[in-house]
Amino acid sequence: MSIHPSAIVAAGARIPASCTIGPYCTIGPEVELGEECNLISHVVIDGRTRIGSRNTFYPFCSIGVAPQDLKYKGEPTETILGDSNTIRECVTISRGTTGGGGLTRLGSGNLLMAYAHVGHDSHVGSRCILANSATLAGHVTIQDDVTLGAFCPVHQHCVVGAHAFIGGGTIVTQDVLPFSLTSAHRENKAFGINKVGLERKGFSPQRLQRLQKAYRYLLAAKLNTTQALEKMRALEGEDVAQLMRFIESSRRGVIK
């Protein structure tokens, strides 16, 4: 095991021999790391935190720290990270609260750029990108394959649907439709499908055509949401069905 002499590792922490702990890192007693994790320097990991394999933590990030919630009184809540995440400089990931389920979770294969924040009880899927200073308030859900642009704040209890792309500086106060492009440059509105991102993920032309037709009903036709959903029921494909389920289950309303 490679642990720099200046690092502080509490008794009780579970660290495999394949991990690298760089200078001035601090690891709490209830932390469990997976294989081949790399803490470059000045990393703080605290609380009841379980981390998968092959994660890289850059200087001055803080993982599993106490939530920024005045109601939190030190309850034994958790933080869980999957595998192969890249956590860049000054990222903060707060542990959960008892009022929000007690767990903050990050999936696998994510990139969190410098100064991104994942608030308490938030759940981030896999293969997501949170650009510089993207901020998730407590209780936010980010589904898989989402790109959240720089300086984007996401309001409490919002859900961002899978494969959505949110442009930099967009203020998110309602749920973001899956497969969509949403941007502050379009008055914080959705304006179509994330065609380039979906093509990169291997979506066929037929899948894209069905989604484009569904989005025309939602965004371009002179239909309310209920009427648009009725039109969409005639379309085939799991993608359209996923989009309809998302709209029907939304608690905060969706950005259109």
CATH of the domain at 227: 1.20.1180.10
The C-alpha atoms of residue 180 and residue 158 are separated, in whole angstroms, by 15
Q: Write down the catalytic residue from 121, 144, 145, 175.
A: 121
CA atoms within 13 A on the CB side of 118: 37
The C-alpha atoms of residue 28 and residue 44 are separated, in whole angstroms, by 8
Note the maximum CA span of the chain: 66
Are residue 130 and residue 218 in the same domain, yes or no?
A: no
What global pTM score does this model have?
Answer: 0.95
User: What's the confidence (pLDDT) of residue 187?
Assistant: 65
CATH number assigned to the domain comprising residue 126: 2.160.10.10
Q: Is residue 42 part of a domain?
A: yes
Q: Is residue 208 part of a domain?
A: yes
Q: Is residue 220 part of a domain?
A: yes
**Tens place of pLDDT for every residue, the chain, 256 residues?**
799 999 999 999 999 999 999 999 999 999 999 999 999 999 999 999 999 999 999 999 999 999 999 999 999 999 999 999 999 999 999 999 999 999 999 999 999 999 999 999 999 999 999 999 999 999 999 999 999 999 999 999 999 999 999 999 999 999 999 999 998 776 668 889 999 999 999 999 999 999 999 999 999 888 999 999 999 999 989 999 999 999 999 999 999 8
Are residue 128 and residue 23 in the same domain, yes or no?
A: yes
How many independent structural domains does the chain possess? 2
Q: Write down the catalytic residue from 138, 149, 161, 167.
A: 138
| Four-CA torsion 190, 196, 202, 205, nearest 10 degrees | 80
Q: Is residue 168 part of a domain?
A: no
Task: Report CA-CA distances (Å) from 12 to 52, 175, 195.
Answer: 17, 41, 48
Q: Is residue 188 part of a domain?
A: no
Are residue 204 and residue 116 in the same domain, yes or no?
A: no
Are residue 229 and residue 134 in the same domain, yes or no?
A: no
Give pLDDT tens digits for 28-42.
999 999 999 999 999
Write out the residue range of the structural domain in which residue 232 sits: 198-249
Are residue 130 and residue 222 in the same domain, yes or no?
A: no
Q: Write down the catalytic residue from 42, 120, 123, 139.
A: 120
Are residue 116 and residue 202 in the same domain, yes or no?
A: no
Are residue 113 and residue 204 in the same domain, yes or no?
A: no
Q: Is residue 216 part of a domain?
A: yes
Is 138 labeled as catalytic in the residue annotation? yes
Are residue 90 and residue 216 in the same domain, yes or no?
A: no
Are residue 21 and residue 94 in the same domain, yes or no?
A: yes
Are residue 9 and residue 130 in the same domain, yes or no?
A: yes
Q: Is residue 180 part of a domain?
A: no
Q: Is residue 97 part of a domain?
A: yes
